[in-house]
Amino acid sequence: MRFATYQHQHRDRVAVVDEDGTLFPLPGVTSLTALLAETDGLPGLLAAGAAALDGPAGPPVSQVRLLAPLQPTSVRDFVTFEEHVEGVRRSVDGVAGVPEQWYAAPTFYFTNPHAIYGPQDGVPVPPGSAVLDFELEVAAVIGREGHDLTPQQARDHIVGYTVFNDWSARDLQSAEMKVGLGPCKGKDTATTLGPYLVTSDELEPHRDTEGFLRLALTAEVNGVTVGEDLLSHMSWTFEEMTAYASRGTRVVPGDVLGSGTCGNGGCLAELWGVHGQQTPPPLEPGDTVMLTVEGIGSLTSTVVPGAEPVPLPAGRRRDRRRA
C-alpha cells in the first residue's frame, strides 16, 4: 500500500492512495506518525489501510497538497554507498579513496526532525550558504519499537520506505567538519520526504539474494539527468542499519533511517570531485530537483530564497589563568 499525508480544504488527512491516484482517507487520522505508534507494525498498518479502502473515496492526489508522509520522531542519516564516500571525500577534502574505518560499521548522524519538508514545499537556501546541494537517498521508516535487534528481527520493525532528499550546504558543512563533531548547520535547514510511504511488502519482489532492494534511482536538475544508480549498491541492508541503530538503545515508530546518498551522481558534490570543478553548479533559487526511486515514486522540489544569517560574534579567546 501507499500512504499519503495531505492537506485539503484546510485540513490535514492521512489516506491510502490507489493505483489511479485516488485518496481513501483513514477516518479521524491526521498523523501517520501517530498511526504507526497505534498500529505497532506492518500488519496493523495494512489492516487500517484495508479498512480505508472499503470506505468512501476522497479527492484525487492532483486536487490536494501533498505533505511529507510523516513527521519523524527522529532522523538518522547513514552513509552506505562507497562511491559517494569516495567522490565527496575527493571533492570536500581533496583526499582519494574510502577510509578503512568506514567499513567497520554503518555510520550515521542525527539530523533535524523539525525541518521536514513535503513534496510541494519550496526548499530555502540555508542562511549564509552559497553552495547548496541535493542528496538522493531512500529512507526506511520504523513501525515497531525495539532494541538490540538482530538484522532478522529488524525486518519486522521496518514498516515502509520513502524518498529522502538530504539538502546540504556544502560550504557550511566543509567548515564545520574541521571541528571534528560532524555536520550541523550544513544539514540543518531542510530534509524533504515523499511523495508517499510505500509499505515494505510492496518492495519485497525487488529484494535480491543478499537482502538488498534492487531499485533504480535517478536524479534530475532542471530536467537534466545528473545521476543514476541502484539502491542495491548499498554496503549494508536496511535491516543491518536498523539493527545497528538499535544497539544499546531503541528505535520507535516514526523513526526515519536514511540510506545515505547513492553513487554515480547522487549529489553534486560527488560530481565536483570527479570533474575537479563545480560542474554542474551549486543549486540556486528557481532550480528544481526531481529524485525518482523505482517502486516508490518521484519527489520534486524547487529551491527558494532563504533567510539572511543573524550575525554572531566569533568565539572569545579566554585568559585561562586560574589564580
- What letter would DSSP give residue 201? H
Q: At 240, which helix (H) or strand (E)?
A: helix 238-245
Rounded distance between C-alpha atoms, residue 14 and residue 248, angstroms: 33
Q: Is the dihedral of CA 304, 258, 53, 202 positive or negative?
A: positive
202 is a domain residue:
yes
CA-CA distance, 120 to 194, in Å (whole number)? 9
Surface-to-core class of residue 291, CB atoms within 10 Å of its CB (0-12 exposed, 13-18 middle, 19+ buried):
buried
From 66, 82, 115, give the residue that closes a domain: 66
d(CA 84, CA 82): 5
155-186: pLDDT as tens digits: 999 999 999 999 999 999 999 988 989 899 99
55 and 204 in a single domain? The answer is no
What CATH number is associated with residue 263?
3.90.850.10
**Structural domain tally of the chain?**
2
Give me the pLDDT at residue 81, please: 97
Tell me, yes or no, whether 161 and 12 share the same domain: no
Clarify whether residues 113 and 232 are in a common domain: yes
Structural domain including 58 reads 2-66
125-142 average pLDDT score = 98
Count of CB atoms situated within 10 Å of the CB of 317: 6
CA–CA separation, 54 vs 49, rounded Å? 9
Domain boundary among 16, 36, 66: 66
Q: Which residues of 245-277 are buried (b: 16+ CB within 10 A; e: fewer)?
A: bbeeeebbbbbbbbbbbbbbbbbbbbbbbbeee
> Do 28 and 114 fall within a single domain?
no
Average pLDDT over all residues of the chain = 96
| Nearest alpha-carbon partner for 31 in 147, 261, 197 | 197
Grid coordinates belonging to 26: 483513514
Mark whether 190 and 293 lie in a shared domain.
Answer: yes
323 domain residue, yes or no: no
Are 84 and 181 in the same domain?
Answer: yes
Distant-in-sequence, close-in-space partners of 69: CB < 8 Å, separation ≥ 6? 3, 4, 5, 32, 141, 162, 193, 194, 195, 196, 197
- Report the half-sphere exposure of 36 (CA within 13 A, side-chain side): 27
Q: For 266-312, how does the pLDDT look when each residue is reduced to its tens digit (9 = 90+)?
A: 999 999 988 889 999 999 999 999 999 999 999 999 999 999 999 99
Same domain flag for 187 and 286: yes
Domain co-membership, 87 together with 12: no
Q: Is 191 among the domain residues?
A: yes
Q: Kindly give, in sequence order, each residue whose CB lies less than 8 Å from that of residue 235, ignoring residues fewer than 6 positions away.
A: 80, 81, 82, 103, 106
Question: What distances in angstroms separate CA 263 from CA 179, 220, 271, one per listed residue?
Answer: 26, 14, 9
* Whether residue 116 is found in the same domain as residue 264: yes
Same domain, 78 and 62: no
Contacts of 231 (CB under 8 A, 6+ apart): 138, 212, 213, 214, 215, 216, 217, 259, 262, 293
* Contact criterion met (CB below 8 Å) for 306 and 189: yes
**What is the percentage of the chain residues whose pLDDT exceeds 70?**
99
| Cα angle: 66, vertex 4, 214; to 5 degrees | 110
Q: pTM value?
A: 0.97
Give the pLDDT band of residue 90 (cuts 50, 70, 90).
confident
Q: 317 falls in which pLDDT band (50, 70, 90)? A: very high
Percent of the chain scoring above 90 in pLDDT: 92
**Do 121 and 258 share a structural domain?**
yes
Would you call 8 helix, strand, or coil by DSSP?
Answer: strand
Whether residue 178 is found in the same domain as residue 222: yes
